[in-house]
Amino acid sequence: MSDTELLTKTDLEELLRQKFGQVTVESLSISQLTQPGENYGANLLAVEVTLAPDHKKMSVVAKLVPVLLDKFNYITVRKEMDFYLLVSPAYRQIQEECQVTENEIVDLFPECYGARATRGPDVGQLPDDGAALLIENLRNRGYSNGNRLTGVDLAHTRLVMVQMARFHATAVALKINKPQVFQDTRGPSPKKEDDKAVKPKPYGPEQEYELIAKQMAKFPEFADKLERIKASVSKTIEQKASGKPIQPSEPFASILHDDLCVNNIMFCYEADKKTPKDLKIIDFQFQFYDSPAKDLLFFLFTSTEVGLVVDHYDDMVRLYHQTFTRLADHSPLRHRTILIQNVSHRNK
Q: What is the 3-state secondary structure of the chain?
A: CCHHHHCCHHHHHHHHHHHHCCCEEEEEEEEECCCCCCCCCCEEEEEEEEEECCCEEEEEEEEECCCCHHHCCHHHHHHHHHHHHHHHHHHHHHHHHCCCCHHHCCCCCCCEEEEECCCCCCCCCCCCCCCEEEEECHHHHCCEECCCCCCECHHHHHHHHHHHHHHHHHHHHHHHHCHHHHHHHHCCCCCHHHHHHCCCCCCCHHHHHHHHHHHHCCCHHHHHHHHHHHHHHHHHHHHHHHCCCCCCCCCCCEEECCCCCHHHEEEEECCCCCCEEEEEECCCCCCEEECCHHHHHHHHHHCECCCHHHHHHHHHHHHHHHHHHHHHCCHHHCCCCHHHHHHHHHCC
State the pLDDT at residue 42. 82
To the question of pTM greater than 0.85 for the whole model, the response is: no
Higher pLDDT among residues 33 and 160, named by residue: 160
Assign 60 a pLDDT band (cuts: 50, 70, 90). very high
Q: What is the mean pLDDT of residues 85-97?
A: 89
Look at residue 35 and tell me whether its pLDDT is greater than 90.
no
Q: What is the pLDDT of residues 106-118, one digit of tens each?
A: 899 999 999 998 8
* pLDDT at residue 343 in the model: 42
pLDDT attached to residue 336: 41
pLDDT of residue 192: 44
Residue 196, pLDDT above cutoff 50: no
pLDDT-above-90 percentage for the chain: 44
From 198-202, 223-227, 260-264, 309-313, the region with the lowest mean pLDDT: 198-202
Between residues 34 and 343, the one the model is more confident about: 34
**295-324: per-residue pLDDT in tens?**
999 999 999 999 999 999 999 999 999 999
pLDDT at 226: 78
**pLDDT tens column, 140-194:** 999 999 998 999 999 999 999 999 999 999 998 888 888 888 887 765 544 444 4
- For residue range 267-276, list pLDDT tens digits in order: 999 999 999 9
pLDDT above 50 for 347:
no
Q: Which of 25-34, 159-168, 206-215, 276-285 has the lowest mean pLDDT?
A: 206-215
Q: Tell me the pLDDT of the chain averaged across its residues.
A: 82
